[in-house]
A and B are shown apart, each in its own frame.
Chain A
């Protein structure tokens, strides 16, 4: 027998559709898998291992990942909570009470969900501030800033629908105030409010709507926005900054470090740290349950969650319609801010006005929030 045996069929290189032939995997199982999932690992490694600028070694620059991680926590705990939650006005509160008091570890999951939502909003705001003050939203990243504003809005909407589901006093009266705010929108307000509430006033439809928004529509929306956000960010690469310290160190120093495993490990540290923090918060300050929603009894002092304090104070200062219009206007300004900034810089290239405007906005929001927090009514 001198004829050379043909190579076993499993050693023939696999070619993904429209790609280059892949080098055969080493093990038999590897080759079996490669034939079924023809992924170009080289390419994958290339795309997933982009070099990351050194400044990402500063913790301050790692905030972008935290909302995404907290969102994962929210998704996991949220799915678990929805196993016991009943979106019916007559049973919602009781089902939340049952999760908190009867179901094993229910109180823990609910507390984690609640704390994580608070941290998520805080993380989104911090991330946004970092991006703003470092000017990372500038050309060519304007669109990603706009997606970011969308994510911010979605996160707020998540928070609002979330605490409405508990169906305690704050839930009901918070939803009432939100409905009235929506009604104050000129022209379309009444229709919008009806659409949101599923009726003229808060009723059986409202809770179902909020529930579907909270567990269906908003998660889908935030996933899509998040995917776009990360995609754009990945395509542009991390914004590179000039640092005094780096300049001093000289050009021979490497300016980047690998995304995997170095940066992933940093994010892992943050992730585990967050999980630890959330657990501690959940044990020390577990999510309570206030009085059940009572449509006949408006509580004397009702306050929304802290992240809506500024809107609440603004509402009290300006009145319904003006507040709605001005908040809409500010929201729009925030959305198109990269273009405004561009226009300003075209006229006065050295202008630092954007930082000043940002500081003013942060101060204003902070003052409104603190004011509402300390005010008794």
Chain B
């Protein structure tokens, strides 16, 4: 068994009119692998990777090992075949029959194999779920008058999470009420003007920045939503994942 690979490369002339020759010049053309019969033309302006394998196996009827070759088979004309020394005509026939049989088997297997691969790929693509889509949208939250000054008011968002909407006097903030530490519910302490997590004493500024406790140690702030006032109403920007 022999495996081989190679790469033939010959430069071309970028601009034939500029008087500069950039072309590879093949003094004695050995070009049959690329151009077939034509040996008037030498190698020029080609890139040609190739690979293949040869196999030597039990080929002959007499039990004598006969070489069986496979590889990139080019159009061959038997008249031009140069016989290896010592091979009789009969041996040649056996060799060719085996090669044909091998070739048809190989092609058939390649064909059936690629079909099977294609069909399996399709079936996998069919079964594999489509990528979830992130949808951003602005939804109605509440009339502005509904959010009392200095108190946090929770609103359930479509994805099940809760936004704590607070009029801090200066600003309207909507923060996720889920503590970034371990997921406890955060509440607004109007007197101190900040958010407190009852579990481990996490403390957050009005804008959700962690100032004390484990969230501050980890540098994790409360998730903040954008709230917009349109006329008398508040709208909130949410992002949700939708499985198509």
Contact = CB atoms under 8 A, between A and B. Distances in A.
Interface in A62-84: 80, 83
A105 interface: yes
Contacts of A272: 112, 115
Nearest to A79: B123
Contacts of A275: 115
A216 interface: no
B130 A105 contact: no
B115 A104 contact: no
B38 to A, nearest CB: 36
Contacts of B53: none
B244 interface: yes
Contact of B127 (A80, A102, A108): A80
B111 to A, nearest CB: 8
B122 interface: yes
Contacts of B115: 272, 275
A109 interface: yes
Contacts of A231: none
Contacts of B126: 80, 83, 103-106, 109
Contact of A105 (B112, B122, B244): B122
B123 A102 contact: no
A94 B112 CA distance: 36
Interface in B200-244: 244
Nearest to A98: B244
B201 to A, nearest CB: 48
Contacts of A105: 122-123, 125-126
Interface of B: 112, 115, 122-123, 125-127, 130, 244
Interface string A314-329: 0000000000000000
Contacts of B112: 272
A104 B130 contact: yes
Contacts of A106: 126
B244 A102 contact: yes
Contacts of B123: 80, 105
A44 to B, nearest CB: 22
Contacts of A80: 123, 126-127
Given A83-B127, A108-B122, 16 more contacts: A80-B123, A80-B126, A80-B127, A83-B126, A102-B130, A102-B244, A103-B126, A104-B126, A104-B130, A105-B122, A105-B123, A105-B125, A105-B126, A109-B126, A272-B112, A272-B115
A275 to B, nearest CB: 8
A272 B107 CA distance: 14
A191 to B, nearest CB: 41
Contacts of A108: 122
Interface in A269-311: 272, 275
A105 B244 CA distance: 15
A83 B126 CA distance: 10
Interface string A191-225: 00000000000000000000000000000000000
A109 B122 CA distance: 9
A103 B127 CA distance: 8
Interface centre among B112, B125, B126, B127 (most CB of A within 10 A): B126
Nearest 3 A-B pairs (CB), nearest first? A105-B126, A104-B125, A105-B122
B192 to A, nearest CB: 51
B231 to A, nearest CB: 38
Nearest to B127: A83
A106 B122 CA distance: 10
9 contacts: A80-B126, A83-B126, A102-B130, A102-B244, A103-B130, A104-B126, A105-B123, A272-B115, A275-B115
Nearest to A275: B115
B119 to A, nearest CB: 9
Contacts of A109: 126
A115 to B, nearest CB: 16
Interface in A102-132: 102-106, 108-109
Nearest to B128: A104
A80 B115 CA distance: 18
A135 to B, nearest CB: 37
Interface centre among A102, A104, A108, A275 (most CB of B within 10 A): A104
A109 B244 CA distance: 19
Nearest to A77: B123
A186 to B, nearest CB: 47
Contacts of B125: 104-105
A102 B244 CA distance: 7
A104 B126 CA distance: 5
A275 B126 CA distance: 18
Contacts of B130: 102-104
A108 B112 CA distance: 20
